[in-house]
Amino acid sequence: MDLGQRPAGHGRSLPAHRRRAGGRPFHGAAAHLATRRAVPWRDRAPPPGTTYPLIPDVTTTLHPPGDAPGSAPRQTRTGDAPPRGASLSIACAILGTAFLGGLVLAVEPGQNAIDTWGFHVFSHALRTGFFRAIADLGLGPVTAGVAVVAAAVIWRRDPRRTVACLGGPALAIELAELMKIVVGRRFEGVLCWPSGSEAAVAAVVTVIVLVTRGPARWAAIVLGSAAIVLEIIALVAFRWHYLTDAFGGVLVGVGCVLLVDAVVHRLRLPHRRRPTVRSDLL
């Protein structure tokens, strides 16, 4: 038998669907594919009612069925929302109250009923070492140290709030010194309204509250409020300020930090556009 010839019956014993034209059989993968029966596409289609999730790109927005046609579209991609700044209206209201109080005290700079009550309640008996240490919370090194630490903590999460951590207390202290000159109120011959020490403490407390989140923020509010109250008691007990001077310092400190935070979060900075992936290519 020639090498080119096939044995008799080779190929004819195979089923018709496994033989090629000319009687040659399929081998390997070709034989497996040839034995598969053709199935109409309707039989391979998914059952009616099957839904597939839409994969939108970054810029794709959808209107859920319950929304009105004219309503604003919702973002379909979930993730962390961009950091939001403090309320600009609240910051302006706090500072406006401070300016209004300064205007009143510029006309009537003397001791009023609130100051008299403060001297009566916070008497000389409170001149202890504890309150002397509390009074030092408003010193410049303490304020600068806490501001720098807070800025380092918040830098990666919210770079804009770093500006508020550093610039807010500095603005509060400078504004307090400027308002002392403008208002001209004096206590024992020294310009006193508003209190710069109280403004520094209030600004630092506000910075800590802005940096913290969740349960830690509530703890910061409680402990910070206690520190502000203790600073007020110390300043009045040692007869360094009127009670209204301390109140003015609180308004200036809180208002300046909130104002800086609100402004920097509303600035539109230039940034590079990130490439987007078209949804029809996914």
For 153, residues 6+ apart whose C-beta sits below 8 A from its C-beta are 211
pLDDT at 257 over 80: yes
What's the CA gap between 152 and 57, in Å, rounded? 34
**Which amino acid, 114?**
I
For residue 280, CA distances in Å to 54, 60, 95, 120, 273 come to: 10, 11, 52, 76, 20
Burial (CB count <10 Å: 0-12, 13-18, 19+), residue 112: middle
pLDDT at residue 62 in the model: 46
The more confident residue out of 155 and 34 is 155
pLDDT at 108 over 60: yes
| Token duo for residue 90 | 């609240």
What's the CA gap between 214 and 222, in Å, rounded? 13
pLDDT at 212 over 80: yes
75-103: pLDDT as tens digits: 444 444 556 777 889 999 999 999 999 99
pLDDT at residue 246 in the model: 95
pLDDT at residue 268 in the model: 74
Reported pTM: 0.66
pLDDT, average across residues 277-281? 51
pLDDT at residue 207 in the model: 95
1-28: pLDDT as tens digits: 444 455 555 544 555 555 555 555 555 5
30-82: pLDDT as tens digits: 555 555 555 555 555 566 666 655 554 444 444 454 445 555 544 444 444 55
Phi, psi of 186 (to 5 degrees): -125, 145
pLDDT at 272 over 60: no
pLDDT at residue 266 in the model: 87
126-142: pLDDT as tens digits: 888 899 999 989 898 99
- Average the pLDDT over each of 8-12, 50-54, 105-109, 274-278 and give the range with the smallest value: 8-12
pLDDT at 181 over 70: yes
Give SS3 for 119.
Answer: helix
43-57: pLDDT as tens digits: 555 666 666 555 544
What's the CA gap between 267 and 274, in Å, rounded? 20
**Strand partners of residue 58:** none
